[in-house]
Amino acid sequence: MNMYTLAANNGLSINSVIYPGQRLKVSGNAQATQKVHYVKYGETLSGIAAQLGTTVSHLQAVNGIRNANYIWVGQRIAA
């Protein structure tokens, strides 16, 4: 699990402070499948989020996307 996924799974940003004793959700299933989408012409991150059943902020966190308006055709988007 990378830091983007850890942050997204816990409603945090990658700049959030984690305190001693704070509980974090981590994936216990190494075999879990990940939803992946490749951007097609005319798609938006909000549309992709809706297709994948998640939020724009989650996709941004997991994929290291700073500007939700800047994605490109062929870009791999993991949920």
The pLDDT score that the predictor gives to residue 28 is 65
The pLDDT score that the predictor gives to residue 29 is 61
CA distance readout (Å), 60 to 23, 28, 38, 53: 23, 23, 14, 14
Each residue's pLDDT expressed in tens, for the chain with a length of 79 residues: 788 888 888 989 989 999 888 888 887 665 657 789 999 999 999 999 999 999 999 999 999 999 999 999 999 999 8
Q: Where are the domains of the chain?
A: 3-16+34-78
Domain 3-16+34-78 sits in CATH at 3.10.350.10
Predicted TM-score of the model (pTM): 0.60
Distance between CA atoms of residues 23 and 77, nearest Å: 28
What one-letter code names the amino acid at 70?
Answer: Y
DSSP label at residue 77: E
The pLDDT score that the predictor gives to residue 67 is 96
Distance between CA atoms of residues 13 and 42, nearest Å: 28
Distance between CA atoms of residues 29 and 57, nearest Å: 23
